Structure 1
Amino acid sequence: MSAELICVIVLGLMFVIGTWRDINMGLLGFVAAAGVGGLVLHQAPEEFLAGFPVDLFLALVGLTYLFGFAQNNGVIEVIVHWCVRLVGGRTSLMPWIFFALTAILIALGALFAVAIIAPLALSFARKHRINQFMVGLLVVHGALAGAFSPISVYGIFINDYLAKNGLTPTPLSLFLAPLIFNLIFALVVYFVLHRRPGLRAEADDALSAETKSPDSGSPEIQSPGTGNSAVKTDTVRLTRSQVPTLIGLIAMALSVLIFSWDVGIVTITIAIVLTFINPAAGKAAMTKVSWSVVILITGVLTYISVLQAAGTVEWVSAGISAIGIPLLAALLLFYMSGLISALASSLAIIGVVIALAVPFLESGDVHVGGFVAALAIAATIVDISPFSTNGAMLLANVHSTIRDRYYKQMIGYAGLMCLIGPGLAWVVAAVPTMLTT
């Protein structure tokens, strides 16, 4: 058996075992890199570990560390409250506030923006009898809309990978295509569902208790209302402990966007300053570092480096090119990405597909920017699936009395996205650029 085929079989086993037994695929990637690199390619440890992405590791740790402060000390909740006041307390506009907040947070590097906003959004929807499924979908689509900004985890990952492989990144198209695509989907969802009562928590006592005792930091609700009612809010001001965190977030965004400083070093530096100011807060924020995601991405990329050394990337790409029709090959890759991503990590599948498509992209038959933007959409539009990270975080915050029904609706919507999402991404983002190549 050839080394190339062994690498592909091991990669497939990683996805199957990781999904079936809920094992972090990054850990499997490190083991696979050692096994294939050491036993098949006869590499020394420093060789099969050479693909470990140090810069991306720093970015992931720094971003999740910094946002740990904001999540723990209530800065995010204060910002949500300000947004409620900004729209004059009109509940009909609040689903779009949650959409925008999730998009902005993840665009700035808050990888688990859905986990931050979903509890606030679903609690608000319950209290005001707003369609909870619609609100949940807008939160997830908001996350996907902002996920590929140049300073987000997704954006940094893809743009750096393209640059390191000699391909020209197109950060603006990578950011805008998913943003516009998900905004359109969110609009469709809103106009179809916002007038329907949707799922409501059937435990009246639980709802009454929530109305009397709102979540800490969330808008203060005086009385239940309809989707068009106004919300009375109490004045919320930043505390002394929250001010440095807010300044740190603003400084991070400005230094990276305006001065193009390294996001990993910047976020870690700001987090250290905040820890110096409040050591207890720093210790608590360190527990928010998304080590599972860090391990996932770095482990998969380490194994991808071994794939490249074995010649597997060129081998698979040659098979793709043998189809003879670049548009058809791209469509097959997009549907493969969407289906696998519904059950596994979007970042992992994006990394694998881009790696396999690099020689395919280098041929010039496919426009890099259009292909990558469409791939980003195809691999993430299915993230409402309860088996994906975003979908699971959303479902975890649904009231227990409606969770089963909510789960079934999520499955239905995820199935619809698997069916039409990759194809639409192919038509809208990939086909026009490929036809002009």
Structure 2
Amino acid sequence: MSQHLISISVLGLMFVIATVLPVNMGALAFVGAFIVGSWVAAMPAKSILLGFPADLFLTLVGITYLFAVAQNNGTIDWLVRLAVRAVGGRIAAIPWIMFLIAAVLTAVGAVSPAAVAIIAPIALGFAARYGINPLMMGLMVIHGAQGGGFSPISIYGGITNKIVQKAGLPLNEMATAFASFGVNLAVAAGLFVAFGGLRLMRKPAPALAAAPAPAGDVLAMSAPFAARTIPAQGAQIYGDAEAEAGFEERKTMAREPGALLGDAGTPAADTPAGPYQYLTVLGLVALAVLTLGMKLDIGFVSLTIAVVLTLIAPEQQKRALGQVSWPEIMLIVGVSTYVGVLDKMGTIDFVGHSVAALTSPLVAALLLCFVGAVVSAFASSTAVLGSLIPLAVPFLQQGSDVSAIGFIAAMAVASTIVDVSPFSTNGALVLANAQNVDRQAFFRKLLVYGAAVTVIAPVVLWFLFVVL
């Protein structure tokens, strides 16, 4: 067996182990980089470490640190309350508010499971109270989180843009961001119509959060959300580093009792924001302006803003560094280091040329989109993005009819939109927080929907962004 086939087999084995067992794939990838690089390719350790993505590491630490600070100081809760209050009594607007809030959270740096963990309990609580289809509400939250996931200052966006830039491919940050948001918005609109959204528009408008929620309601929980949002059991959940990151964030970022309702029973929406919250919002705006407008490094800028906000209230933010998504970061930098070893070995070129020789570039692009969707439905979307995009580089650089920008958009969306499956962290969170439902029936509906998305989405996205 050639060294190229050995290195590819090791990559596949890592996917399998991380799916079946609760082991971080990043740790496996570092070990794989050491074994394959040293024993198969005879590379010294210094050469292996050249593949470590220091810039991507700093980006991920800075973004997740800033989001943890914003969560700790109450800015995220305050923005959620403002959005919920803004709908007044318009029940039909609630699913769209939840969609947009989840999109904003991931767009400014939250990992997708963390955004869903924050919003799903609130959204499904509203669904139970006001007669909204819980499946529709849960899927709106997930698609919102995925829709905002490729902004230039997001986790997915940062990963994808760094990989594309390093590969020397044409880079259009906003094309992928708009593609992800547009596709998920269109899917959400279809779900809204299919699951009774038009009927909600004709319902009378009650007063939302006008009184303390009934005992046991999600809005009146005296325990943190982490106590209610445990993902479904199974190695395929905890083998995904995104699940580890989301679970750790829910444990450390859990709200204090009475966070949504005041201690005296007054609606939390009436609690005014303080200077710290306004400064945090200003910091998020500054992040967008400095990185998008002035092209400053997003890692350094986000870390600087986070540290400034921490210095304002160091006691409140002393746990923020522990809330950084270290398992997620471990996964990403580990896989990127292994891919760096593959690149130095020539395996990336070998695979790209082999795929291009076996079939047309258009069909090769479709196959990679399918692989990304299927693997991501059970394993980590970030690992898929980090390992499959580089495999497409050779045939994209050969001057084929496949647009690199279109393919990156199709691959990115296909690898993340499938996280609606109950075997993914997002789907498991929705399942865990659904109220007044037959749990098995709800699981089957999520499973059927997730399977349909996994089969249909790659073809549709390939046709929209690659063929057209």
* Aligned with residue 304 of structure 1, among 339, 343, 350: 339
Instruction: Kindly provide the CA deviation profile for residues 23-50 of structure 1, in whole angstroms up to 9, marking residues without a partner as x.
Output: 1111111000000001111111111121
Mapping of 1:202-351 within 5 angstroms?
A: 208-211=214-217, 214-215=220-221, 216-218=258-260, 234-351=269-386
Instruction: Kindly provide the CA deviation profile for residues 342-396 of structure 1, in whole angstroms up to 9, marking residues without a partner as x.
Output: 0001111122111111101101212101111111121112111122232233334
Contact 2:431 2:439 in 1 (8 A): yes
Task: Give the 3 Å change call, closer, same or farther, for CA 264–348 of structure 1 in structure 2.
Answer: same
Task: Give the 3 Å change call, closer, same or farther, for CA 123–273 of structure 1 in structure 2.
Answer: same
Q: Following the alignment from structure 2 to structure 1, what is the Cα–Cα distance between the partners of residues 332 and 303? A: 19
Q: Following the alignment from structure 1 to structure 2, what is the Cα–Cα distance between the partners of residues 141 and 218? A: 24
Contact 1:84 1:219 in 2 (8 A): no
Deviation at 1:11, TM superposition (A): 0.5
Q: Is it true that 1:14 corresponds to 2:20 in the alignment?
A: no
Secondary structure in structure 2 of the residue aligned to 1:256: helix
Q: Is it true that 1:375 corresponds to 2:377 in the alignment?
A: no
Q: Following the alignment from structure 1 to structure 2, what is the Cα–Cα distance between the partners of residues 285 and 86? A: 30
Task: Give the % identical residues.
Answer: 44
Deviation at 1:149, TM superposition (A): 1.3
Q: Determine the structure 1 residue equivalent to 2:175.
A: 173
Q: Following the alignment from structure 1 to structure 2, what is the Cα–Cα distance between the partners of residues 414 and 288? A: 30
Q: Following the alignment from structure 1 to structure 2, what is the Cα–Cα distance between the partners of residues 383 and 360? A: 28
Task: Give the 3 Å change call, closer, same or farther, for CA 233–68 of structure 1 in structure 2.
Answer: closer
Mapping of 1:192-207 within 5 angstroms?
A: 192-194=194-196
Root mean square deviation, CA, Å: 2.3
Q: Determine the structure 2 residue equivalent to 1:78.
A: 78
Contact 1:7 1:307 in 2 (8 A): yes
Q: Following the alignment from structure 2 to structure 1, what is the Cα–Cα distance between the partners of residues 393 and 14? A: 21
Contact 2:64 2:324 in 1 (8 A): yes
Q: Determine the structure 2 residue equivalent to 1:100.
A: 100
Q: Determine the structure 2 residue equivalent to 1:155.
A: 157
Q: Determine the structure 2 residue equivalent to 1:398.
A: 434
Q: Following the alignment from structure 1 to structure 2, what is the Cα–Cα distance between the partners of residues 251 and 196? A: 39
Q: Following the alignment from structure 1 to structure 2, what is the Cα–Cα distance between the partners of residues 374 and 166? A: 18
Q: Determine the structure 1 residue equivalent to 2:465.
A: 429
Contact 2:63 2:109 in 1 (8 A): yes
Contact 1:373 1:429 in 2 (8 A): yes
Q: Following the alignment from structure 1 to structure 2, what is the Cα–Cα distance between the partners of residues 236 and 90? A: 22
Q: Determine the structure 1 residue equivalent to 2:60.
A: 60
Q: Following the alignment from structure 1 to structure 2, what is the Cα–Cα distance between the partners of residues 77 and 127? A: 20
Contact 2:259 2:268 in 1 (8 A): no
Q: Following the alignment from structure 1 to structure 2, what is the Cα–Cα distance between the partners of residues 17 and 415? A: 22
Q: Determine the structure 2 residue equivalent to 1:29.
A: 29
TM-score with structure 1 setting the length: 0.89
Q: Which 10-residue stretch deviates more, 105-114 or 304-313?
A: 105-114
Which stretches in structure 1 are left out of the alignment for 5+ residues? 199-206, 221-231, 433-437
Contact 1:26 1:295 in 2 (8 A): yes
Contact 2:122 2:219 in 1 (8 A): no
Opposite residue 38 of structure 1, the aligned amino acid is S
Q: Determine the structure 1 residue equivalent to 2:447.
A: 411
Q: Following the alignment from structure 1 to structure 2, what is the Cα–Cα distance between the partners of residues 406 and 265? A: 43
Aligned length: 413
Q: Following the alignment from structure 2 to structure 1, what is the Cα–Cα distance between the partners of residues 117 and 297? A: 26
Q: Following the alignment from structure 1 to structure 2, what is the Cα–Cα distance between the partners of residues 195 and 275? A: 42
Secondary structure in structure 2 of the residue aligned to 1:322: helix
Q: Determine the structure 2 residue equivalent to 1:119.
A: 121
Task: Give the 3 Å change call, closer, same or farther, for CA 234–390 of structure 1 in structure 2.
Answer: closer
Deviation at 1:158, TM superposition (A): 1.4
Q: Following the alignment from structure 1 to structure 2, what is the Cα–Cα distance between the partners of residues 234 and 351? A: 40
Secondary structure in structure 2 of the residue aligned to 1:52: coil
Q: Following the alignment from structure 1 to structure 2, what is the Cα–Cα distance between the partners of residues 381 and 178? A: 8
Opposite residue 179 of structure 1, the aligned amino acid is F
Contact 1:148 1:174 in 2 (8 A): yes
Q: Which 10-residue stretch deviates more, 251-260 or 74-83?
A: 251-260
Instruction: Kindly provide the CA deviation profile for residues 124-182 of structure 1, in whole angstroms up to 9, marking residues without a partner as x.
Output: 22222211111110111111211111221211221221122221112122111121111
Secondary structure in structure 2 of the residue aligned to 1:167: coil
Q: Determine the structure 1 residue equivalent to 2:208.
A: none
Contact 2:106 2:115 in 1 (8 A): yes
Q: Following the alignment from structure 1 to structure 2, what is the Cα–Cα distance between the partners of residues 395 and 292? A: 23
Secondary structure in structure 2 of the residue aligned to 1:23: coil
Opposite residue 79 of structure 1, the aligned amino acid is L
Task: Give the 3 Å change call, closer, same or farther, for CA 136–48 of structure 1 in structure 2.
Answer: same
* Aligned with residue 131 of structure 1, among 123, 130, 133: 133
Deviation at 1:272, TM superposition (A): 1.4
Deviation at 1:287, TM superposition (A): 2.3
Task: Give the 3 Å change call, closer, same or farther, for CA 233–21 of structure 1 in structure 2.
Answer: closer
Q: Following the alignment from structure 2 to structure 1, what is the Cα–Cα distance between the partners of residues 86 and 460? A: 35
Q: Following the alignment from structure 1 to structure 2, what is the Cα–Cα distance between the partners of residues 259 and 408? A: 48
Task: Give the 3 Å change call, closer, same or farther, for CA 168–52 of structure 1 in structure 2.
Answer: same
Contact 2:373 2:416 in 1 (8 A): yes
Instruction: Kindly provide the CA deviation profile for residues 74-102 of structure 1, in whole angstroms up to 9, marking residues without a partner as x.
Output: 22121122112322232210110111111
